[in-house]
């Protein structure tokens, strides 16, 4: 009971990924004196079927990842976190969403490697050439003149996996320019660019594109009409990412982030900035709850995509950035889903 209370106070059920809540509740329920043994047996059996399906999908993704041969093509600057990225896609837990999970894991892989390239390794000039190359969407070798071999490999990987990446690349380039000049824009201007760079809206579009039996055009139009909701989701992803990565960013001289932009604009201390940004996230949660409760003119399945995406964000940034330091709080979830059969 103590464990259940701690979990509820830390990350309550409506904010947590359903698959993780189910696994935890099975453990709790089997210790109840009056539990229904037949119901418990079927619950465990159903969960094991899901685990086997997830492992089969991960085998497919592991084979795809190995075929990319990043180890020989790229310097070791990028986060090698395929399993953590795949875990985030289990927010869409139903068996019928297998295509969604595979597709989205590939997209997240591109996003992380591209982000680490622009943020941690490439020079500003290389980022500019990379952005220009992808904006022109030309795989001809002459079009990639000026790019080092590792970036040519990255471009071919992106071109070979997706056909639309210009918007996020433009944001990565702007962030790289700001970071190179140690420029701190206004907090609102930073969120406009950095919120786009984290690509929540594109992630939602990817999920909807991979789903079956829904009207894609209707879903996209609804998504475009909920600008306030999508912007709040982008802030929900961007600000915790910056807060948890603040010390690491500062240690390598990377100043352009939510904390420093807020400090500069409002003339507050680091401690005050963290407190205010925490309040901003809490206010955003309330606003998103209100937006989600509004009447909708699309199937509820579309709205559930939004809710499940928020749940994945909550798990990924619960207490720290799990995608940068996965050996901590995400490790237990990974063992629970992929190992404990």
| Residue 253 per-residue DSSP state | T
Give which of 231, 203, 210, 333 is closest to 287, Cα–Cα: 231
For position 168, what pLDDT does the model report? 46
Residue 254 in tokens: 């990377």
For position 198, what pLDDT does the model report? 67
For position 164, what pLDDT does the model report? 39
Position 32 pLDDT exceeds 80? yes
Q: Per-residue DSSP letters for 269-308? A: -HHHHHHHHHHHHHHHHHHHHHHHHS--SS-HHHHHHHHH
Mean pLDDT confidence for 280-294? 86
Mean pLDDT confidence for 194-211? 74
Looking at every residue in the chain, the average pLDDT score rounds to: 82
**CB under 8 Å, gap of 24 or more: what pairs does 185-190 form?**
185/256, 185/261, 186/261, 186/265, 187/258, 187/261, 187/262, 187/265, 187/266, 190/256, 190/257, 190/258, 190/261
Mean pLDDT confidence for 214-220? 75
Q: What is the separation of C-alpha 167 from the centre of its chain, rounded to a whole number of angstroms?
A: 17
Neighbours of 243 (CB within 10 A): 20
Tracing tokens 């701190």 back to the chain, one arrives at 184
Check residues 24 and 253 and name the one with the higher pLDDT: 24
For position 171, what pLDDT does the model report? 59
319 conformational bin, left if phi > 0, alpha if psi -120 to 50, beta if neither = left
d(CA 153, CA 148): 9
Helices (H), 11-36: 18-29
Position 14 pLDDT exceeds 80? yes
For position 142, what pLDDT does the model report? 64
Query: For residues 137 and 159, is the Cβ–Cβ distance under 8 A?
Result: yes
Residue 248 in tokens: 């690491």
d(CA 158, CA 166): 11
Band (322; pLDDT cuts 50, 70, 90)? low
Position 115 pLDDT exceeds 80? yes
Band (138; pLDDT cuts 50, 70, 90)? low
Domains of the chain: 2-339 (1.10.600.10)
**CB under 8 Å, gap of 24 or more: what pairs does 61-68 form?**
61/86, 61/102, 61/105, 61/106, 64/106, 65/109, 68/157
> Cα–Cα–Cα angle for 10, 14, 16, nearest 5°?
55
């Amino acid at each position: 009971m103590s464990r259940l209370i701690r979990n509820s106070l830390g990350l309550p059920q409506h904010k947590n990924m359903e698959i993780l809540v189910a696994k935890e509740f099975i453990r709790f329920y089997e210790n109840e004196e009056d539990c229904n043994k037949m119901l418990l047996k079927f619950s465990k059996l159903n969960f094991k079927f899901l685990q086997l399906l997830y492992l089969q999908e991960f085998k497919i993704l592991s084979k795809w990842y190995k075929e990319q041969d990043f180890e020989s093509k790229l310097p070791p600057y990028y986060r090698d976190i395929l399993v953590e990225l795949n875990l985030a896609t289990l927010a869409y837990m139903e068996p019928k969403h297998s295509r969604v999970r595979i597709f989205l894991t590939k997209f997240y892989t591109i996003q992380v490697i591209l982000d680490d390239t622009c943020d941690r390794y490439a020079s500003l000039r290389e980022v500019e050439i990379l952005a220009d190359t992808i904006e022109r969407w030309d795989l001809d070798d002459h079009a990639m003149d000026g790019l080092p071999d590792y970036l040519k490999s990255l471009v071919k990987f992106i071109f070979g996996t997706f056909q639309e990446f210009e918007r996020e690349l433009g944001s990565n380039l702007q962030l790289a320019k700001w970071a190179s000049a140690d420029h701190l824009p206004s907090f609102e201007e930073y969120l406009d660019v950095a919120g786009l760079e984290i690509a929540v809206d594109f992630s939602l579009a990817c999920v909807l594109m991979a789903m079956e039996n829904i009207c894609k055009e209707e879903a996209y139009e609804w998504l475009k009409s909920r600008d306030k909701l999508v912007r709040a989701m982008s802030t929900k992803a961007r600000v915790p990412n910056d807060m948890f990565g603040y010390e690491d960013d500062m240690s390598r001289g990377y100043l352009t982030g939510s904390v420093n932009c807020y400090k500069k604009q409002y003339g507050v201390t680091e401690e005050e900035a963290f407190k205010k940004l925490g309040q901003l996230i809490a206010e955003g949660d309330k606003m998103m709850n209100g937006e989600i409760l509004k009447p909708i003119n699309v199937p509820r399945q579309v709205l559930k995509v939004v809710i499940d995406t928020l749940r994945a964000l909550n798990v990924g940034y619960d207490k720290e950035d799990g995608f940068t330091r996965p050996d901590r709080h995400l490790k237990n979830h990974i063992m629970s889903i992929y190992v404990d059969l």
